[in-house]
Structure 1
Amino acid sequence: MSKIPKPILITLPILILAIAIYFSGQYLQKKANTQFSKTEVKKIAPLKKPAPFKKVEVEKFKRFNIADKHKNEKSAYRFPSTRNVRAGLVFEMNAGKTLWSTNANKSVPIASLTKCLTVLTVLDHIKENPQYSLLDQVLISKSSMKTSSSSFLRKYPKDTISVEELLVSAMVKSANDSCQLIAEHFGKGDPKVFIAMMNKKAQQLGMTQTKMSNAHGLPFDRSRPDLDNHSSMSDLLHLIRKSINDYPIILKWTSKREVLLPSSSHKAVKLGNTNPLLAVKGVNGYKTGFTLNAGWCQILTTRANGKFYFLVITGCPNKNTRDVTMRALMNWAVRVP
């Protein structure tokens, strides 16, 4: 029998030891991460029940009734063509000033813009109920993984996911399956309970032109387009103003170009933001959407010249038209004196 070469005899034990150290380290790290996450969930302080709104706050967030065909403001840029926009609105938040609108008070299909109300409903519910937390772990259901136009939860490397990760994936990647799981979780197994919570929230906010059939914005029934989720531009303006005032963290989520979930895992799922205008300085993103009935839609928030702007358009015939129109509207709006 031939002898094993001396170099191999020397390096083999070292190699075996290195492999053993690596895998033991992986095991200990995984154990530590699990222990840490459990500790964090226990340590989180319950949110106090919020005090009722003062009169000044109700006044501050009164619902706007936007006049259609608002007279265009003068700008250094020529006003762009909006003939392919079904309904839209450009609003300067600081001055409470409408720069442009069309069909702003008309209730139209809004596709995934729905998720803006989904997120606010969840955050308000957590704020009002100390037993809930953004760190709560939710068991991923088979029904949520079967949601149309979704693949996020099927790729997620764990059996449970935090409420915060569900909200982030909904706003960044427009994950329909995440919204379905949100509805199941906060509806205690029945998504219809959560849909009722969303509609109640809309009523409380005075969003009289808003009606929801699901938490994600997909067509409710292809043969009944009237059942699709509907809202108006003035309702959406009110919703977004309220959301970012009460929960600035939403803008932190929507401004991310991509996220890794879960961030601590080497098997994390990479989610790219659906908003192509994030590369523009000052843009915080917000939400995009599309269905055949709603067309291509987008809500955009941006800061420029010390001012904060809200823009929304719906009903565009294709993605390129939506993006070009939104970019042109933004360039025009931020140059209004």
Structure 2
Amino acid sequence: MAALPARAFETLAGAAWVYDITTGTVLLEKNADEPLPPASMSKLMTLNMLFEALKDGRAKMDTTFSVSTKAWKMGGSKMFVKPDDRPTIEELIHGIIINSGNDACVVVAEGLAGSESNFASLMTKRAQDLGMTQSHFANASGWPDPNHKMSARDLGFIATRLITEFPEFYPYFAMTDYNYKDRVPANSRNRNPMLRTSGSGDWTADGLKTGHTSEAGYGLVGSAVHENGRRIVFVLTGMASEAERAQEAEAITNWAFREFVQKTVAAKGTRIADADVWLGASARVGLVVGEDLQLLLPSLAQDKLSASVVYTGPIEAPVEAGQKLADMVIEVPGIPPMTVPLVAENAVAKGGFTSRIKTAFGILAKRVMAEIGS
């Protein structure tokens, strides 16, 4: 769905993107396609690569990787692995998500691809394959590099993918503490401030990843679920401080859940219109919505919805049941139009000889009448 700028949220973030997973609606975008330093938020792409390896059987949760000198000497946030360690993939997942371990990312990169540079190249190619056109990776951890960039939209896309494609791993993102071999300092707990916030009590945050460097500022890729089942993903980058990041994240989550209303506009199979059929056993076919049509609408404009049906007709037979034939364009004052596909209510076979003769005579009659009228 298109972005719905209700009473626009004036975010302090340099770039932002807010997405309602439940209805597939973008709620807010600000500089969403600008490639920016993602800091540790790019670890989400590293985790995607690791989760894909687990899902297709190239690795298992109890698979162990060796720790190179490079991984051991990594600066910044750490899981605190040492060269003689053999951490399991499950331990490394904890270390990346909870401790934001740069060292853990290098271990994973080298374990899966032989070297971090090879892994970064694979990350970039995979991102392109997934449609993340504003992402390029120079390393596995988000360590500052002029060639390491992601857009807010790409960060939101990969976060959404982790939630929807790998639900078995998603609970790790809600964990707040992990202490590998009793080496991790107490201040290395999960820095996601949303995990310790639940708004006014009707929503719960459960992911995903913070990031911070002097160049990138403070950022957060977050997700929260409302008690009514709606889930959002949001990306905020370029904040000035941890406190500002925490306040802005809570405010934008409250806005996303309060400012919009989810409505079932039409149930699956509801006939919206009819379309003419060319040389078919039937002259018309119903146009219906293929799934329950749920829209997320600005609360102040939810009763001002209008719709029109657009298709190129007549539609040539045969027609298959469920075949996309048209689009319904939905308009609400003050927001961009939304387009919903409409499909054939039932199959329409090619007409027999009699049907074709009737159609031909009908066309001939129209032409004759047109000539007479002229």
Structure 1 partner of 2:290: none
Q: CA deviation at 1:136?
A: 0.7
Structure 1 partner of 2:225: 303
Structure 1 partner of 2:194: 277
Alignment of 1:41-60 (within 5 A): none
Alignment of 1:16-31 (within 5 A): none
Structure 1 partner of 2:254: 331
The structure whose residues are more often helix, as a share, is 1
Q: CA deviation at 1:256?
A: 0.9
Q: Secondary structure at the match of 2:175?
A: coil
Q: CA deviation at 1:124?
A: 1.0
1: CA distance, partners of 2:118 / 2:207: 30
Find 2:6's aligned residue among 65, 73, 77: 73
Q: CA deviation at 1:251?
A: 2.4
Residue 179 of structure 2 is aligned to residue 246 of structure 1: no
Unaligned regions of 5+ residues in structure 1, if any?
A: 1-63, 221-225
Residue 118 of structure 2 is aligned to residue 196 of structure 1: no
1: CA distance, partners of 2:130 / 2:223: 20
Find 1:137's aligned residue among 51, 64, 69: 64
TM-score (norm 1): 0.69
Post-superposition Cα deviations, 1:74-108, rounded to whole Å, max 9, x if no partner, equal 5xxxx6542x3111011111111122110112211
Q: CA deviation at 1:303?
A: 0.3
Structure 2 partner of 1:40: none
Residue 96 of structure 2 is aligned to residue 170 of structure 1: yes
Q: Which runs of structure 1 show a deviation greater than 3 angstroms over 4 or more consecutive aligned residues? A: 267-271
2: CA distance, partners of 1:291 / 1:122: 24
CA separation of 1:302/1:158 partners in 2, compared to 1, >3 Å: closer, same or farther? farther
Q: CA deviation at 1:312?
A: 0.7
CA separation of 1:294/1:254 partners in 2, compared to 1, >3 Å: closer, same or farther? same
2: CA distance, partners of 1:80 / 1:101: 10
Post-superposition Cα deviations, 1:152-173, rounded to whole Å, max 9, x if no partner, equal 224x797210012112211112
TM-score (norm 2): 0.63
Residue 63 of structure 2 is aligned to residue 113 of structure 1: no
1: CA distance, partners of 2:96 / 2:62: 16
Q: CA deviation at 1:268?
A: 6.7
CA separation of 1:157/1:196 partners in 2, compared to 1, >3 Å: closer, same or farther? closer
CA separation of 1:290/1:252 partners in 2, compared to 1, >3 Å: closer, same or farther? same
Amino acid in structure 2 at the alignment position of 1:299: V
CA separation of 1:208/1:160 partners in 2, compared to 1, >3 Å: closer, same or farther? same
Q: Is the 8 A contact 2:68 2:83 kept in 1?
A: no
Q: Is the 8 A contact 1:157 1:268 kept in 2?
A: no
Amino acid in structure 2 at the alignment position of 1:272: R
Q: CA deviation at 1:72?
A: 2.8
Q: CA deviation at 1:71?
A: 5.1
Q: Is the 8 A contact 1:135 1:164 kept in 2?
A: yes
Amino acid in structure 2 at the alignment position of 1:148: G
Q: Bigger radius of gyration, 1 or 2?
A: 2
Amino acid in structure 2 at the alignment position of 1:210: S
- Greater relative contact order, per chain length (Cα 8 Å cut-off, separation 6+): 1
Q: Is the 8 A contact 1:140 1:153 kept in 2?
A: no
1: CA distance, partners of 2:36 / 2:212: 13
Amino acid in structure 2 at the alignment position of 1:285: G
Give aligned-pair identity as a percent.
Answer: 27
Amino acid in structure 1 at the alignment position of 2:219: C
Return 142-151 or 169-178, whichever deviates more.
142-151
1: CA distance, partners of 2:169 / 2:98: 10
Q: CA deviation at 1:132?
A: 2.1
How many residues get paired? 252
Residue 213 of structure 2 is aligned to residue 291 of structure 1: yes
Post-superposition Cα deviations, 1:54-78, rounded to whole Å, max 9, x if no partner, equal xxxxxxxxxx8x7xxx55325xxxx
Q: Secondary structure at the match of 1:137?
A: coil
Q: Secondary structure at the match of 1:123?
A: helix
Q: Is the 8 A contact 2:39 2:143 kept in 1?
A: yes
Q: CA deviation at 1:273?
A: 1.0
Structure 2 partner of 1:95: 23
Unaligned regions of 5+ residues in structure 2, if any?
A: 199-203, 262-374
Q: Secondary structure at the match of 1:283?
A: strand
